Amino acid sequence: MIMLLLAASLWLVAAALIYVAWKRGDGTLSAGLKRTWIDSRFMVPRIALGVIGAGFMAKLLPTETVAALLGPESGVRGVFIASLSGMLTPGGPVVGFSVGIAALKAGAGMPAIIAYVTAWSLISLNRVIVWERVLMPADVVWKRVALSLPLAPLAGLMTLWFWPG
């Protein structure tokens, strides 16, 4: 039910923005629709592949191994393994979230998944090396990484302690 309300809210916001762009009468609507078409052609296939890939990955992952390493009973060790895995996972959201979904379907526990996604979001070493280190001063990058390092395990541990089930 909540997902339905969120989706309806997003459609209402989109409709309101379309209306505002149309009322402007300055070509904003056509430019926005053109940009939407371009972005959709780029993203929809990637999202579809990610969702399909996550389904296959969930079936191919050895559930006993995933449950042992990242399952609800893995505790603190699982949180740290997931944090390290998140840091080492290359790629964008289609890859990161697909791996997280596949691990969840294969038996990973909530604390490990939260640690994984948090580490992937904050400290993906691929992104740090390929993008951040190239574009930003080294001291800024490494300070940001150092300050972010404890956040993924902390998020997983907080989940483990407050919502252990």
In a domain, 37, yes or no: no
In a domain, 38, yes or no: no
In a domain, 146, yes or no: yes
Q: How many structural domains compose the chain?
A: 1
Domain that holds residue 76: 59-162
What pLDDT score does 55 carry?
75
CB within 8 A of 123, min separation 6: which ones? Answer: 86, 87, 145, 148, 149, 152
What pLDDT score does 165 carry?
58
What pLDDT score does 105 carry?
86
In a domain, 26, yes or no: no
pTM score over 0.85 = no
* CA quadruple 145, 124, 37, 17: dihedral, nearest 10: -40
What pLDDT score does 70 carry?
92
Going residue by residue through the chain, which has 165 residues, state the pLDDT in tens, using 9 for 90 and above: 788 888 899 999 999 999 999 999 899 999 999 999 998 998 888 888 877 877 777 777 788 888 889 998 899 999 999 999 999 988 888 888 888 888 888 889 999 999 999 999 999 998 999 989 999 999 999 999 999 999 999 999 999 998 865
d(CA 5, CA 106): 29
In a domain, 34, yes or no: no
In a domain, 128, yes or no: yes
Phi (first) and psi of residue 127, to 5 degrees: -70, -40
In a domain, 106, yes or no: yes
What pLDDT score does 67 carry?
86
40-69 exposure pattern, b = at least 16 Cβ within 10 A, e = fewer: eeeeeeeeeebeebbeebbeebeeeebbeb
In a domain, 98, yes or no: yes
